[in-house]
């Protein structure tokens, strides 16, 4: 579909996110601009669904993308996720990356569905990262950047083992949460954290959390 879109619209911005499902860390949004067939051919050689690539391959692809394309990477914080919900926080991240581009002469393709933006020249594509190499490249940007953030978090808080699960709700991760409690980089509106907090089964410092976040789950 990419070549067809490129011929039809001239310039394409692909957008994708990483990290909607984890219990900890931000949701990250990546965007990439493709302006000609030469750039598209380069993506055809390197890009794939980021979830299916090895970590080494993703890092290699990430470098090629940032060296050869105009791109943007932004995030929405765990606090924003708790306050606005994950869908709205992801939408916020999308709006942030698009601010780095002039949009009037470009068509924007976004992985997912039902995102509402204050522009007309965009469309949402379900499983877009599998249908478009341009969206797939945006997926790589978001995934690699988020993984790097979680590696840094692991250095500061090694007890949670973020380098292994990246914040996703694995059995091991949930056991770590029960043992060590949570910090402000956790999403307290996400289950099972929400339930564990309400039932007083995990420890946390209220002073680390905006009171509006605590109100979202009925804790004051």
What tens digit of pLDDT does each residue of 60-119 get? 999 999 999 999 999 999 999 999 999 999 999 999 999 999 999 999 999 999 999 999
Top-confidence residue, 126 or 220: 126
| The predicted structure's pLDDT at residue 50 | 72
Locate 220 and state its tokens: 């004051």
Name, in order, each residue with C-beta under 8 angstroms of 130's C-beta and a sequence gap of 6 or more: 49, 136
> What Å distances lie between residue 28 and 105, 106, 108, 137, 210, CA to CA?
25, 22, 18, 14, 21
| The predicted structure's pLDDT at residue 48 | 62
- Taking only Cα atoms into account, the Rg of the chain, rounded to an integer number of angstroms, comes to 18
Across 7-25, average pLDDT: 98
| The predicted structure's pLDDT at residue 191 | 97
- Confidence band of 214 (pLDDT split at 50, 70, 90): very high
Top-confidence residue, 5 or 45: 5
Q: Rounded mean pLDDT of the chain?
A: 96
> Helices in the chain by DSSP H: which ranges?
2-9, 37-46, 55-68, 78-84, 86-98, 128-131, 133-156, 162-165, 171-180, 193-198, 211-216
Locate 166 and state its tokens: 């990246």
Where exactly does CATH 3.30.420.10 map onto the chain? 2-153
| The predicted structure's pLDDT at residue 49 | 65
pTM: 0.95
CATH topology of domain 2-153: Nucleotidyltransferase; domain 5 (3.30.420)
| The predicted structure's pLDDT at residue 46 | 84
Strand partners of residue 34:
12
Name, in order, each residue with C-beta under 8 angstroms of 176's C-beta and a sequence gap of 6 or more: 159, 160, 161
Return the percentage of the chain with pLDDT > 70, whole number.
Answer: 99
CA-nearest of 102, 107, 99, 43 to 74 is 99
Residue 137 has pLDDT above 90, yes or no: yes
Q: Give the C-alpha separation, 169 to 173, whole Å.
A: 6
Residue 151 has pLDDT above 70, yes or no: yes
Across 46-59, average pLDDT: 80
């Amino acid at each position: 579909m990419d070549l067809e879109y490129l011929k039809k619209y001239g310039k394409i911005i692909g957008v994708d996110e990483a990290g909607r499902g984890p219990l900890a860390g931000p949701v990250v949004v990546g965007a990439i601009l493709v302006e000609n067939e030469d750039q598209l051919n380069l993506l055809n050689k390197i890009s794939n669904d980021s979830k299916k690539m090895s970590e080494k391959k993703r890092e290699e692809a990430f470098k090629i993308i940032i060296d050869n394309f105009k791109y943007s990477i932004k995030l929405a914080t765990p606090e924003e996720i708790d306050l606005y919900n994950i869908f709205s926080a992801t939408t916020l991240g999308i709006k942030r990356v698009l601010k780095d581009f002039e949009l009037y002469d470009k068509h924007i393709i976004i992985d997912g569905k039902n995102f509402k933006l204050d522009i007309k020249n965009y469309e949402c594509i379900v499983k877009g990262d599998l249908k478009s190499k341009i969206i797939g490249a945006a997926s790589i940007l978001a995934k690699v950047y988020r993984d790097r953030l979680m590696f840094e978090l692991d250095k500061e808080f090694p007890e949670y083992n973020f380098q292994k699960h990246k914040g996703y709700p694995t059995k091991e991760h949930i056991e770590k949460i029960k043992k060590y409690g949570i910090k402000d980089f956790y999403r307290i509106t996400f289950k099972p954290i929400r339930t564990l907090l309400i039932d007083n089964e995990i420890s946390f410092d209220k002073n680390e959390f905006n009171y509006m976040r605590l109100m979202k789950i009925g804790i004051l």
